[in-house]
């Protein structure tokens, strides 16, 4: 059957068809010349975007499935592990190591990097937003800003990075959680009556869903909020999605809405905001709201520019210029989070006691050997790490 959408299938990815053409040509040359070279290749990045001090590695589950069945051995950091681009001596941090005959895996370099570059970039941006937001609720609203085929990846990256909920239905199903959201402006426009739209939502939607009214479609935010509070008996919150052209001072609009609600006894009604939010606006609005819907800033998070380089071949050091030769292990002090990169099988470095090796087997001779945690557990792991990290 011919394709409907311009997307690669699982089979095409698994068969190496999403590779760059020069890798296919390289494989052909090596096969026809009967050249077999056992190599060690490492994945590193030269720096984190925006001069951020750390990134979150995501995509290792996809990498495991990519290399499953191939005659290679793969090591990686645990899914969701934070890393710095380089250690204190300027050695690049290896986040993944691939070992095997180069001809057997060269066509997989492109999808390998694709799996981790974008997911890690989104997760890093989302982790920073959640750290700024603290205990306030943060929801992922970014599905509509990216290609629908990667909606689950985007939502998963945001959720694992600490977001409290996601709006996309397919993503929630895959993560075994409930999708979260309010209502679109279109509902109010189509019904041509604010109160009727809010009441219809209350009457029709499952009672387990919080009653949150969108209050900025046609009228002043304060007026629509008070109308919604009066129209829906069990209203739990309002969402303000005021467009930039009408915001003026968004913080003061929110403060005014909060004052008018409290003045009339609606202290239980929460205020959620969305629309063009980023780290800075979340930081500014945090004291005055109960939650955020963040979209483009995270779904369009800058990719982490990982690259894969051969660093060892047949036990010889062969890294190209600009890269450090040899297979390496990454060690971390569990107390102060200091990282040290050393040659593989070197003496274990010490800091506050012996340091912990972080590169662990992912695939051994084509067999996936790591047991992956549910997304909720990986999310806990990320949050536990990030709480001890500085944003700058």
Write out the residue range of the structural domain in which residue 272 sits. 134-299
Give kind and range of the element (H or E) at residue 341. strand 339-343
pLDDT digits (tens, 9 = 90+) for 124-154: 999 999 999 999 999 999 888 899 999 999 9
| Co-location of 255 and 341 in the same domain | no
Q: What is the pLDDT of residue 344?
A: 97
pLDDT digits (tens, 9 = 90+) for 330-381: 999 999 999 999 999 999 999 999 999 999 999 999 999 999 999 999 999 9
Q: What is the pLDDT along the chain (392 residues), one digit of tens a residue?
A: 578 999 999 999 999 999 999 999 999 999 999 999 999 999 999 999 999 999 999 999 999 999 999 999 999 999 999 999 999 999 999 999 999 999 999 999 999 999 999 999 999 999 999 999 999 999 999 888 899 999 999 999 999 999 999 999 999 999 999 999 889 999 999 999 999 999 999 999 999 999 999 999 999 999 999 999 999 999 999 999 988 878 889 999 999 999 999 999 999 999 999 999 999 999 999 999 999 999 999 999 999 999 999 999 999 999 999 999 999 999 999 999 999 999 999 999 999 999 999 999 999 999 999 999 999 999 999 999 999 999 99
| Co-location of 69 and 33 in the same domain | yes
The DSSP bridge pattern shows strands 353-354 and 356-357 to be unpaired
For helices 375-386 and 109-133, give the axis angle rounded to 10 degrees: 60
Cα–Cα distance between 223 and 253 in angstroms, integer?
A: 11
Write the CATH number for 293. 3.20.20.70
Domain boundary among 299, 328, 349: 299
Question: The pTM is what?
Answer: 0.95
| Co-location of 86 and 219 in the same domain | no
Q: What is the pLDDT of residue 144?
A: 87
State CA 163 to chain mean position distance: 9
| Co-location of 157 and 306 in the same domain | no
Q: What is the pLDDT of residue 260?
A: 98
Cα–Cα distance between 308 and 102 in angstroms, integer?
A: 12
Asked whether residue 4 is domain-assigned, the answer is no
| Co-location of 185 and 216 in the same domain | yes
Strand partners, 317: 312
| Co-location of 168 and 202 in the same domain | yes
| Co-location of 169 and 40 in the same domain | no
| Co-location of 209 and 145 in the same domain | yes
Cα–Cα distance between 308 and 141 in angstroms, integer?
A: 32
| Co-location of 175 and 278 in the same domain | yes
Q: Which of 301, 379, 387 is nearest to 125 (CA)?
A: 301
Cα–Cα distance between 48 and 85 in angstroms, integer?
A: 6
């Amino acid at each position: 059957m011919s394709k409907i959408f311009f997307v690669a299938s699982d089979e095409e990815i698994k068969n190496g068809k999403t590779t760059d053409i020069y890798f296919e040509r390289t494989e052909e040359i090596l096969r026809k010349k009967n050249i077999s070279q056992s190599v060690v290749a490492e994945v590193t990045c030269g720096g984190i975007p925006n001069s951020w001090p750390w990134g979150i590695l995501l995509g290792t589950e996809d990498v495991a499935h990519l290399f499953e069945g191939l005659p290679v051995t793969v090591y990686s950091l645990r899914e969701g592990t934070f890393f710095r681009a380089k250690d204190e001596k300027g050695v690049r941090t290896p986040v993944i190591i691939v070992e095997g005959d180069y001809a057997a895996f060269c066509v997989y370099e492109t999808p390998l990097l694709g799996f981790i570059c974008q997911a890690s970039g989104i997760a890093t941006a989302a982790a920073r937003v959640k750290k700024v937001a603290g205990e306030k609720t943060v929801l992922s609203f970014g599905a509509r800003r990216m290609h629908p085929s990667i909606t689950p990846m985007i939502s998963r990256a945001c959720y694992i990075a600490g977001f409290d909920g996601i709006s996309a239905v397919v993503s929630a199903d895959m993560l075994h959680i409930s999708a979260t959201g309010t209502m679109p402006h279109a509902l109010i426009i189509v019904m041509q009556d604010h109160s009727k739209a809010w009441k219809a939502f209350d009457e029709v939607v499952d009672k387990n869903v919080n009653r949150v009214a969108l209050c900025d479609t046609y009228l002043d935010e304060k007026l629509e909020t008070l109308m919604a509070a009066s129209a829906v008996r069990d209203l739990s919150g309002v969402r303000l999605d005021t467009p930039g052209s009408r915001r003026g001072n968004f913080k003061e609009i929110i403060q005014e809405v909060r004052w008018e609600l409290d003045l009339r006894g609606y202290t239980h009604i929460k205020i959620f905001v969305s629309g063009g939010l980023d780290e800075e606006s979340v930081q500014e609005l945090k004291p005055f709201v109960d939650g955020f819907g963040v979209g483009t800033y995270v779904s369009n998070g800058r990719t982490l520019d990982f690259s894969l380089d051969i660093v060892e071949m047949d036990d010889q050091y062969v890294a190209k210029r600009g890269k450090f030769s040899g297979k390496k292990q990454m060690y971390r002090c569990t107390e102060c989070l200091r990282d040290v990169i050393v040659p593989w099988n070197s003496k274990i470095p010490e800091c506050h006691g012996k340091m912990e090796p972080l590169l662990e087997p992912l695939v051994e001779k084509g067999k996936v050997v790591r047991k992956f945690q549910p997304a909720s557990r990986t999310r806990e792991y990320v949050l536990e790490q990030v709480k001890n990290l500085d944003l700058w």
